[in-house]
Structure 1
Amino acid sequence: MARLLQFLALTLASLALMARPALAQQILRDAETEAFMADMSGPLVKAAGMEPRNVQVLVINDPEINAFVAGGQYVWVHSGLIAQADNVNQLQGVVAHELGHIEGGHVIRSGEGIKEATGITLLSLVLGAAAIAGGAGEAGMGLMGLGQQAAMSKFLAFSRAQESSADLAGARYLHTAGISGRGSLEFFKKLQNQEYRLAIPQDNSYGRTHPLSGERIQVLREVYEPDPAWNRPPDPYLEKRFERIKAKLIGFASEPPQTLQRYPESDQSIPAHYARAYAWHKSAYPDRALAEADALLAALPHDPYFLELKGQILLESGKPVEAIAPLREAVKLTNQPLISTLLAHALIASEDEANFAEAEQVLRLAVQRDRENPFAWYQLGVVYERRGDTPRAALATAERYSMIGQDQMALRSADAAMQGLKPGTVDYLRAQDIAMVSRAAIEQQRKKR
């Protein structure tokens, strides 16, 4: 019986793991990248019948060529995928496919596939246990093994059907948005080349969660090539922005020698300056990083993201006072909460009391527009602490801990905030909400033990 229970646990765990992508990677929050992703995906989101403001395409720091959805209206794109994409059209093809998963409710419906496969597994376990009890031990274990294989095959077929459905849905969105499917096919060819390098058999996709790339290319070519948008080139404005984003991500995520090899000094393009600026900054050569940032600003003096870059290099090189001016201009041009948080950091790091009022104002506006920023809440707590407002410092700390899932610390900070805040005020009620949610989460975790 112990062996039987262990077998069941392993089988169900394997199905659950296959159905749930991991989200342990670092999320890359960047103002320019998020603005680009929203503009690039906007027409596709509308074509899918969704509201663009409710759908987010976010980047995680992972070198793998991958993208996925994992609940809600979020598309997660690996930085490695962007680095390997040749143009914005290829990225749009990937995002269109992932939107197909959202429209189809595939994350929620994956539970149906697990349930059906689990039913097969349980039935085989019952039959196998009966055979073992009747003295046919080998036959019983064989029945269990066959049941596990049948369950896994059922789930894999379910997953492949979802992938094929998302492929066709993505093709429909590209058609409706007037965007060529050429990039989608080009990217599947990249994946096919990867399959060749990994020596993955190309005769059939049995035993895989996804259809083989060759199979997908064959089906989609018949859909894409007759489309009126087939020969339409990528949007030139989006393409320029894509090249910048790609270079920035490579500079941030790759090792500096790799970046400098890919974007040598002989390359004086905007993307190359961008990539090298990050490479030199990561290598602790602030003067060379600033020279690259200044080259960018010489080309586009009022580009908010180049101003942000210069301010970031100055701030992280120990020159917060010099960082304030470019960051202040960048905030004025964009009103972007992530850049506002960087400006507030510079204002606080200046150690000038005269700058704290501006830092508080900037941070309050930033968290109103983007509450999902733990560092902004941390800095707001610092401002309140410096000002002697201990209850609101505790509330800001509670917000931060709640956001990063540290429920015990969130509860402790929320309780401390309520002790000093006037009951019935907005801040008091917010602290009360955090305490209630954190207490419930702690209780739930206790019950699971």
Structure 2
Amino acid sequence: MRRVTTFARLLMLLLIASFATAQPAAAQSILRDSETEKLFADMSKPLIQAARLDPRAVRVVLVNDPEINAFVAQGQIVYIHTGLLMAADNANQVQGVVAHELGHVAGGHSLRIYDGMKQASAVSILSLVLGGLAMAAGAGEAGMAAMAVGQQAAMGRFLAFTRTQESSADLAGAAYLAAAGVSGKGSLDFFKKLQNQEFRLAVYATESYDRTHPLSSERISALQTLYQKDRAWTRATDPALEARFQRVRAKLIGYISDKDQVLQRYPASDTSVPARYARAYAYHRMGYRDKAVAEADALLATAPNDPYFLELKGQVLLESGKPVEALAPLREAVSKAPDQPMIAAMLGHALIATEKKENFPEAEAVLKTAVNRDNDNPFAWYQLGVIYDRKGDIARAALASAERYSLEGKPKLALASARTAVRGIPAGTPDALRAQDILMVSEAEVKKNKGRDDK
């Protein structure tokens, strides 16, 4: 039975590679940015509604990975790689990718993939039985050959299953784009990008039988006529949405790309908003605070009330050791975008960093608001814990730490902090109940991990 287990593990590895059913945050870092997340929400909302899903339940998340890829995991989360966002030329191309991934979500493909595994495993087990019988009869080579052929057939069946799901998601995505009145041009253009990449990497093939996805040429052929017949085919992307996309894309390039390459791509002679955005982040990473602030000020000259330009200036000043100077732009940013908790968390950080006690009550207020709106921000919980610690409220500082460690996937630390919180917070209060919840979840996780370590 060892071979059966080995094959099952092989299928699971392929499953993880194709659909990322493992927790992606553990292996890849999630990049969070208020402006980017707002753009993703706005550009995907009509597609989510077309898929008859709830926009409040579906999220599009950015993963720091240079590969041109996107995937879904269990739940209603679409993960977009930074490599894909930077490779996309326009917002419409990303909308095409999101529409496809929503096809996986609406089709429940991350759950149904196990059906494909079962089918493949059945073929594998049958080949092992037949091979074992042959070997028992003295035909050792024939038995081994039967097993090898069976393993190959099982993998072929599984790959065919995943290709079927990909084709289904393509067609569903096309339907969502049509229902939302979004052109499919971007979708086709992006498939052509992938096709060009296949040529460059010398992985071009004429058949897709040994692949998890259909060939890009096959997908283009299947979708082109469908898209061109749609009334939205010639419809242009909203210029305001496109401008936001170009800002976010340049911002990302400035934040994660090689600093010298950023400055070559966006020379000082380029005074466009995306170029200034990219240079501001590149200069900040290089330690050129004054140049970064100058770019932020130039952006603010074009739009004085833009909360994300204000956030940029505040971030540069704060992270350059000027927290007092960062307060004004960050306070203004929060006032202009009160629904953006990550900006509020940055303001809370700046208030604490001033080391002035008179700023701590304001910090506590803005950080509480931030975690109430977005309790998935471990840094905000950390900052709130600092405030509680400064106040001498050790129990609630421990609760904030428990929240933080739970989000970071550190169950042992979460458990220890939750126990401290439970001992110090009055029973029956909301904070005590929350501490109990974290305690039980983290305790179960610690036991589960210990069981794995003991094997």
1:209 aligns with 2:205: no
1:359 aligns with 2:363: yes
Q: Secondary structure at the match of 1:58?
A: strand
1:436 is displaced (CA, Å) by 1.1
Between 1:299-308 and 1:259-268, the stretch displaced more is 259-268
Q: 1:313 aligns with which of 312, 316, 336?
A: 316
Q: 1:194 aligns with which of 191, 197, 212?
A: 197
Q: Secondary structure at the match of 2:366?
A: helix
The residue number in structure 1 matching 2:414 is 410
Tell me the percent identity. 61
The residue number in structure 2 matching 1:275 is 278
1:377 is displaced (CA, Å) by 0.7
Q: 1:9 aligns with which of 5, 8, 11?
A: 5
One-letter identity of the residue aligned with 1:282 = R
Return the TM-score normalized by structure 2.
Answer: 0.96
- Structure 2 stretches lacking a partner, 5+ long: none
Mapped to 1, the partners of 2:33 and 2:74 lie a distance apart of: 22
1:398 is displaced (CA, Å) by 0.9
The alignment's C-alpha RMSD in Å is 1.0
1:447 aligns with 2:451: yes
Q: Secondary structure at the match of 2:79?
A: strand
Between 1:93-102 and 1:128-137, the stretch displaced more is 128-137
Deviations 1:237-292 (A, max 9, x none): 11000000000011111011111111111111000000000011111111111111
Q: Secondary structure at the match of 2:279?
A: helix
One-letter identity of the residue aligned with 2:230 = D
One-letter identity of the residue aligned with 1:299 = T
The residue number in structure 1 matching 2:267 is 264
1:306 is displaced (CA, Å) by 0.3
Q: Secondary structure at the match of 1:75?
A: strand
- Structure 1 stretches lacking a partner, 5+ long: none
1:10 is displaced (CA, Å) by 3.0
Q: Secondary structure at the match of 1:54?
A: coil
Mapped to 1, the partners of 2:196 and 2:6 lie a distance apart of: 33
Q: Secondary structure at the match of 1:225?
A: helix
Return the TM-score normalized by structure 1.
Answer: 0.98
1:9 is displaced (CA, Å) by 3.4
Mapped to 1, the partners of 2:6 and 2:254 lie a distance apart of: 42
Deviations 1:57-85 (A, max 9, x none): 11111111110001111000011111111
Tell me how many residue pairs correspond in the alignment. 445
Mapped to 2, the partners of 1:176 and 1:138 lie a distance apart of: 57
The residue number in structure 1 matching 2:350 is 346
Mapped to 2, the partners of 1:201 and 1:295 lie a distance apart of: 46
Q: Secondary structure at the match of 2:376?
A: coil
Between 1:165-174 and 1:434-443, the stretch displaced more is 434-443
One-letter identity of the residue aligned with 1:372 = D
The residue number in structure 2 matching 1:220 is 223
1:429 is displaced (CA, Å) by 1.4
Mapped to 2, the partners of 1:433 and 1:55 lie a distance apart of: 24
Q: 1:44 aligns with which of 28, 43, 47?
A: 47
Q: 1:420 aligns with which of 418, 424, 430?
A: 424
1:222 is displaced (CA, Å) by 1.2
The residue number in structure 2 matching 1:70 is 73
Mapped to 1, the partners of 2:204 and 2:317 lie a distance apart of: 52
1:27 aligns with 2:30: yes
Deviations 1:146-171 (A, max 9, x none): 11100000000000000000000000
